Structure formats: C-alpha cells, structure tokens
Amino acid sequence: MAKKVYDILPPQVAKKVKEVASALPLEHKRKRTTRRKPPTPKIAPVVAHIERTVFPWRKVFIGGVLVIMLVIVGYLYVKLPKADITIWPKTESVTLQEKIATDTSVTKVDVDKKIIPGRLIEEEQEGSQEFPATGMGSDSTKATGTITIYNKISPASSFSLKIGTHFLSDSGKYFITLSNVTIPAMSGKNPGKISVKVQAQDPGPDSNIGASKFSIPKLTGTAYYYTIWGESTSDMTGGTASNFKKVTQDDLDAAKTQLTKRLMDQADQLLHKKIGDGEVLLNGATTQIVVSAAADTKANITANSFRETAKVKVSALVFKQSDVNELAKHDLAAKLPGSQSIRENTIVAQYDPDLIDMTKGTERVNLTASATAYYDIGTNELRETVARKSASQIEDMISRMYDGKVTKTTIHFWPFWVKKAPTNQERVKVDLEFE
C-alpha cells in the first residue's frame, strides 16, 4: 500500500501540511475525488517556513555568541596589552674613610655623632679536673750506730774531734759523729779509745753495714792518719728508703693553666653561638677573665693526684652590619649630588679597631666604605607619561629626560600585535637594571 505524503513527513510538518491542504479551494478538493492520481504538492516552501517558525533559537544563539566574542575582544583589547621598560642607569663608585663609635648605651644609629648601638655578650663556664702529681718525695732514714775511736799517737797525747767529723768505712760508706769527742792518750802500749754515736751521711738501707773499720779522710797526708782510726763491733741500723709522689708548685700552675684554657675555649664557642646573624665581632673586642681557680691541696703535699676547680668568663662587644651600612649609606650619599642615590646592596665596609674599652662597652673603629652610586630615574613619572607612545617615542623621551644618565634602554610590548604602551598604568612596568 502506498504511503501518504503525511506519513513521510515529520509529525509537526505533517500537521502543518494538513492545515494548508484544508484551506485549499473546493475545486482542488473535488479533483482529489477523481480517480486520477493527484499531483504531489510542493512542500519545500512550507517546510522552510515551518523550520523558521519552529527553530528561532538559532538566531538567538548566534547573536549571543557574537555579543560574547565582542565583549571578550574588547576586554582583551583593554586589559591584555602590556609594556615592559628596562633602564640601565649610569653608575659610578664612591668611597669614604672615617671614624665611627660603638656604644652599648645607645639604642639607634646616630648619623650626626657617627655612633651605632653595640651589644655586650657574656658567657661563663666552670668545672673541675683531676691532675696527677709529678713531684717525688722521700721518707728515707739514715743508719746509726756506735764506733770506737782509737788514739795511738806517739809520744802519747790526747786528740780532739769536732761534731760532724766524717768517718769512712772500709766498704766506702761515710758516717758523721754526733758530738764532740776527745780521744785519751795512749797508755803504755795500749792505745787510748772512746766510743761515739755516728750517723750515715746518706739515707737508705745501703748504710746498714756490719762491723767495720773507719778512717778519717781529713787526716789524709798527716802523721795522724795512721794513728787515729775507728772500729765498730756491731751493725749500723735504721737506714731506710721510701719514695712517694708529691704535688709541686709547677703541678698547681700547670693545672690552672690547662683547666682555665679548656673552660675558656668552651665559653668562647658558646659565646659565638650567641652572636646573631648580621652581627660583627672585631678582633680584640673580647675579654677572658679567670673568675676563680683553686686546687684541693697545696704545694709539697704528699699525694698521687689532686683536683683543680675553676670558673671563667668570656665577654664580647658586637654591632650590627646593617647599622654600619645605614651610617655608611648616609655619609656616602652626603658626598653625592641630589640627582644620585646609593645602591644599598653594593656597600662594602672594612673595619680597623682603634680603641676598645670592654668595661665601658665602647669601641672606636676606623671605617673604610665603598658603594655604587646611580642617577635617579623617576619610574612612576615614566608610567604616567608613556601611554599611547611607541617604543621609539618612549626611547626618545627617556633620552631627553635623562641625557647622559642612562646607558641603555629596552622596551617590550605584549602581545605581539601591540605597538604602543597601554593607557592603563598598572600594565606598564618600569625596571632599573645594573651591570
């Protein structure tokens, strides 16, 4: 069965075709009643009309897109352009030499009096240490005994000896008489004799000798050497030797020096940790004091070791590098004309201590400083005056405004189609560069 034209059309179009067909003249309707095959209606104009009627949102959409694009283009045109201007000012070096002072009693830099604040840092350390005794002592005793002195002088006569007379034993040991003696004269053929207490000249057990014969060294070469002699009939006893350690004064002095130095080194290390970043400590601006030092014994005391105790204090006077730079910047700038400024990050300072008084917390310093000076460029003024100017116009303007004060200028616009600086000052950037 053949399909009707309504069946091949979309529902909305078919409905519209039916409405149009119903409005046709009656003769067209009669013709349809005939058996002749009706002609196919021309529906293209109708469909186009229907499309325009049913889909009006396309025009709205296209119009909206165009409006949005225009808004975006306008926004980018105003906001996107950017100008980067880089200027290299002409520079020169400037130096100064002067005396400045550091004082712990001031709190801020005084550029007129050339005084900067100082800070006193202190660190104390105390401790004790055991030290060995190096001295040697002795409890040795001397041997004693009795000898009999014989007198065989002819013609017979008595003979006297003073206290301390030396007698030499046949074994080579010296003994000394402990009293004055007078030896009786010889009686007949019998020699005179007398007993006397003697003591060994040297301490130790070597003098504990047995019965011996003794001569008197002082009588050597005289007629009395062979007629006056001594003999012992019993052993000499009591000679002993006992060595021991004892503390010497050198031990005490060395212990104090060693301990205080160790404590000083510890205190110095801790003190340096207290120095803040950017603070300067000059050579000679420190003091080291021994607060106390004592040993638990005295010199010549018998002991194998002893303990030394000490307390020390280290002090340092420091100042801030930034304060020196502030003072140096002020004094360096004072040497420049009003059209130049100092680059702070180029300030180089050297110090030579002149006079340091740690008790007062003051020091005088010979300061040598140098820095780079440059001609002032009005970056804000340039931002206000470059609007709507080309790169060549901006370069000419900078050249006229800062004749001989600028070594180089570069100008960049963005995006690539931008040929002039924007009117929006926030989109203009002026930077200073230094070689």
- Same domain flag for 31 and 16: yes
CATH number for the domain spanning 170: value is 2.40.30
pLDDT at 107: 95
Q: Are residues 160 and 300 in the same domain?
A: no
Domain holding 294: CATH number?
A: 3.30.110
Is the distance from CB of 354 to CB of 285 less than 8 angstroms?
Answer: no
In a domain, 177, yes or no: yes
For residue 295, count other CB atoms closer than 10 A to its CB.
Answer: 21
Domain annotation covers residue 114:
no
Show which of 241, 262, 286 is a domain's final residue.
Answer: 241
Distances (CA, A) of 37 to 8, 96, 243: 18, 117, 156
In this structure, are 225 and 282 located in the same domain?
Answer: no
Digit-coded pLDDT (tens) for 158-167: 999 999 999 9
Residue 274 lies in a domain: yes
Q: What span, in angstroms and rounded, lies between the C-alpha atoms of 58 and 60?
A: 5
Last residue of a domain, one of 300, 319, 338: 319
Question: What is the value of pTM for the model shown?
Answer: 0.58
Distance from C-alpha of 319 to C-alpha of 367, rounded to nearest angstrom: 13
One domain for residues 147 and 220: yes
Q: Which two tokens stand for residue 30?
A: 């009669």
| pLDDT for residue 37 | 57
For residue 49, is it within any domain? yes
Pick from 336, 335, 360, 333: nearest CA to 344: 333
Same domain, 154 and 205: yes
Identify the domain containing residue 228 by its residue range. Answer: 140-241
Residues paired with 95 in a beta bridge: 370
Could you report the average pLDDT of every consecutive run of 10 residues in the chain (435 residues)?
Answer: 51 58 51 52 50 59 74 64 94 94 96 96 97 90 96 94 96 96 94 97 94 96 94 95 91 97 97 95 94 96 95 97 94 90 92 92 95 93 92 93 92 92 92 91
Cβ count within 10 A of residue 376: 13
Please check whether residue 326 lies inside any domain of the structure: no
Q: Is residue 419 part of a domain?
A: no
Q: Is residue 386 part of a domain?
A: no
Return the pLDDT at 29.
Answer: 46
Considering the domain architecture, whether residues 275 and 217 belong to the same structural domain is answered as no
Q: What is the DSSP string of 393-435?
A: HHHHHHHHHTTTTEEEEEEEEESTT--B--S-GGGEEEEE---
Whether residues 126 and 275 fall in one domain: yes
| N-terminal to C-terminal alpha carbon distance within the chain | 95
303 and 246 Cβ atoms separated by less than 8 Å: yes
- Residues 152 and 225 reside in one and the same domain: yes
Radius of gyration of the chain (CA): 61
Residues 6+ apart with CB under 8 A from 17: 5, 6, 9, 41, 43, 46
Q: How far out from the chain centre does Cα 403 lie? A: 47
Q: Alpha helices, DSSP H only, in 223-302?
A: 249-273
Which residues touch 46 (CB under 8 Å, ≥6 apart)?
A: 13, 16, 17, 20
Question: Same structural domain for residues 188 and 310?
Answer: no
Assess whether 266 and 231 both reside in one domain.
no
Phi, psi (deg, nearest 5) at residue 259:
-70, -45
User: What Å distances lie between residue 424 and 81, 108, 129, 383, 385, CA to CA?
Assistant: 9, 43, 77, 9, 11
| Domains contained in the chain, number | 3
CA dihedral 360, 362, 364, 370 (to 10 degrees): 180
Residue 168 belongs to some domain of the structure: yes
Bridge pairing between strands 91-103 and 115-132: parallel
Q: Are residues 303 and 160 in the same domain?
A: no
Boundary of a domain, candidates 211, 241, 271 = 241
Burial class, 88, CB count within 10 angstroms (exposed 0-12 / middle 13-18 / buried 19+): middle
Residues 204, 251: one domain?
Answer: no
